[in-house]
Structure 1
Amino acid sequence: MNPSIKSNQAIKNELLNLLAQNAYQKGDFTLSSGRKSIHYVNCKPVSLSGIGLNLISTLMLNYVEPEACAVAGLTLGADPLVSGVSMAAAQVNRDLNALIVRKKPKGHGTESWIEGPLPPKGSLITILEDVVTTGQSSLKAVKPLSELGYSINKIVALVDRREGADLTISNAGLVLESVFSIEEVSTRSIDLTN
């Protein structure tokens, strides 16, 4: 069924099932932050599938500030998210471009940090993230955009691991909104395996 004719709750339930089945694992893991965890979430098998990206994009668009003219995120996890949300916006006649923030400036040409159609200085941009743990990678996306004169108020995460990202992001003067918590994903994973 086309996500545009489903309710947001139906989309959320379908997406939670996909994340629980294809993105979540329980075990003994070391995260990119160096922390140990029994939960591992890799959203790419979902965000890089056509059905998954369609659901994610439709749902995440609802979290983007109405005044935002672009969505941006740190490569690689946010690449499909910003592209998908930009396309979902176009399908409802909303002008919302996608920006990809490099982890370091391009080493040639313009040596740019940002890829995509840059909006006018002072424009509002919403940051998208697949999974937040400490919030540091989200802030890495904010820094070069802020330095270029853009306004950022909000970070939207697909999954919040609830390991301090909300406090880190709040301390930076920003708001974190998450579509799902790690508890929701892990609980659904258990429900689907029983």
Structure 2
Amino acid sequence: MENRIVELLKESDALLTGHFLLSSGKHSDKYVQCAKLLQYPEKAEEVCQVLKEKLKDEKIDIVVGPAMGGIIIAYELGRALGVPAIFTERENNEMTLRRGFEIKEGQNVLVVEDVVTTGKSSLETIKVIEDYGGKVVGIASLVDRTGGKDIGTKLFSAVALEINTYDKENCPLCEKNIELVKPGSRKKF
């Protein structure tokens, strides 16, 4: 099934190859732009069916996606699971629930992301959920880029991708003078 997910990423031009500046400041030879896949509802639905199957033994009352990347996939997975889907967002640089969203004490909550690399946004969302008294089931993601690192909770992903990352000072792509691009902006550096 992972091969099918990679195929869907490639079909939608969501799996990019080149020289990319990541938000961490590191460089990479590949980048996953899940929004490119998620613009196709039928492909989003197919990926969420894979996640739904992986989550079949979990009790989930509500899904929460961190804005921006988690919103669409949370909605689609919520639909597949038949549960509400809400999102967290930053306000004054702090992850929070707004827009009248709430998590009830004791609810089983699944955090939903497009890509998990370090888990930073997901972990901030987990704190919000726990502050409301919710019980975190785990994190579901379209793509797992953690490289097998423990992020402190269960991770359910449609596909795990091994993608090379480099410090700027030791980047073989820089040494080859391959153009550096910040994903999403098409801006060259």
Question: Under a length normalisation based on structure 2, what TM-score does the superposition of the two structures give?
Answer: 0.74
Identity %: 27
Structure 1 residue 178, shift from structure 2 partner: 2.1
Normalized per residue, the structure richer in helix is 1
Structure 1 residue 138, shift from structure 2 partner: 1.4
Residue number in structure 2 paired with 1:77: 69
Match of 1:67 among 59, 82, 86: 59
Residue number in structure 2 paired with 1:154: 138
Residue number in structure 1 paired with 2:171: none
Question: What 5-or-longer segments of structure 1 have no aligned partner?
Answer: 1-8, 91-95, 106-111, 185-194
Letter in 2 for 1:181: A
Count of residue correspondences: 159
Pairs within 5 Å for 1:26-41: 26-41=17-32
Pairs within 5 Å for 1:48-127: 48-64=39-55, 66-90=58-82, 96-104=83-91, 113-115=97-99, 118-127=102-111
Letter in 2 for 1:131: V
Q: Which runs of 4+ in 1 moved over 6 A?
A: none
Per-residue displacement from partner, 1:110-150 (whole Å, max 9, x unpaired)? Answer: xx624575342111101111111111121122111111111
Query: Per the alignment, in what secondary structure is the counterpart of residue 85 of structure 2?
Result: strand
Residue number in structure 2 paired with 1:175: 154
Question: What 5-or-longer segments of structure 2 have no aligned partner?
Answer: 164-189
Contact 2:104 2:132 in 1 (8 A): no
Normalized per residue, the structure richer in strand is 2
Structure 1 residue 62, shift from structure 2 partner: 2.3
The farther-off stretch of 76-85 and 96-105 is: 96-105
Contact 2:103 2:129 in 1 (8 A): no
Cα 1:114–1:176 change in 2 (3 A) is farther
